[in-house]
Amino acid sequence: MKIREYICSSHTISGVAPGSAVASRHGFAARVEACAAAGYTGMCLHFRDYAEQRQAGVSDAELRAALNQHGMKHISVEFLTDWFIDGEAGEIARRNEVLAFQAATAFGATSLNVGPDLVGRNVPVEIMHERFAALCARAAQRGIAIALELVAWGNVRDVDTALHIIDGVANAGLAIDAWHVFRAGVPLGDLRRIPAERVLCVQVNDADAQPTGTLAQDTMNRRLCGQGAFDLEAFVGTLDSMGVEVPLSVEIISSEQLARELQEAAKVSLSSASRCFDRL
């Protein structure tokens, strides 16, 4: 049995749905304190959160001090999209990229999670590969690794495509989310083709056996670990057997979770994950 550490995803304790007008309904310092009290030793923070803190007058030093004071030693940033396109959306993505890099530097993060094409733009995989390599080159100048997430309804939903896009890029890896793996029907055996050092982020959560609505809608209906139908023991056991060493990032996105008060949201998300994985 290995000693596990856990990261709290930004959505798990934000108290708001993804895409809301604000990144969280809870204060930054209060969230850090709640995560530490629950037993988390890391956080995945959204770059929008960083922007809001700076606009509120909180300095980079104060943000880092709060994380350090409460023992948050595993820090990452999320979630950059549209890094592969041109036009107006591409210009917004470039601005968000700069902000995400600034957030990573301020928080002391070493990796940034990014998404594939989520809206069916039909971007050729070779273009994705080329622009991903360019993004990683820019990130490398800041000492940041880029974790490309497999997304069940995106254009990177299988291991072969993901490995092709990150191929040959030194500071690149993958974010592997249990929800997306099971909803996309990725065989757990396929994960074994990923070199362990290329797995930069592992996200855990649960869900009902069958999705409700589209996958993009159903991703908002996640359950606490152990309260759904996913074979989470096999999922984490597969990654363990591969030699993956990163902490488990608990990402619970649901109306029930966002309605919980801050301390409860942190506590139940970690305690449910611990019951599932600490005995493995």
Q: Tens-digit pLDDT profile for the chain (280 aa)? A: 678 999 999 999 999 999 999 999 999 999 999 999 999 999 999 999 999 999 999 999 999 999 999 999 999 999 999 999 999 999 999 999 999 999 999 999 999 999 999 999 999 999 999 999 999 999 999 999 999 999 999 999 999 999 999 999 999 999 999 999 999 999 999 999 999 999 999 999 999 999 999 999 999 999 999 999 999 999 999 999 999 999 999 999 999 999 999 999 999 999 999 999 998 8
DSSP string for the chain: -PPP-EEEEHHHHHSS-TT-SSS-SS-HHHHHHHHHHHT--EEEEEHHHHHHHHHTT--HHHHHHHHHHTT--EEEEEEE--TT--HHHHHHHHHHHHHHHHHHHHHT--EEEE----S-----HHHHHHHHHHHHHHHHTTT-EEEEEP-TTSS--SHHHHHHHHTT-TTEEEEEEHHHHHHTT--HHHHTTS-GGGEEEEEE-B--SS-SSSHHHHTT--B-TTSSS--HHHHHHHHHHHT--SPEEE---SHHHHHS-HHHHHHHHHHHHHHHHTT-
Q: Which fold has domain 6-264?
A: TIM Barrel (3.20.20)
Q: Where are the domains of the chain?
A: 6-264
pLDDT value at residue 1: 67
At 237-258, the pLDDT tens digits run 999 999 999 999 999 999 999 9
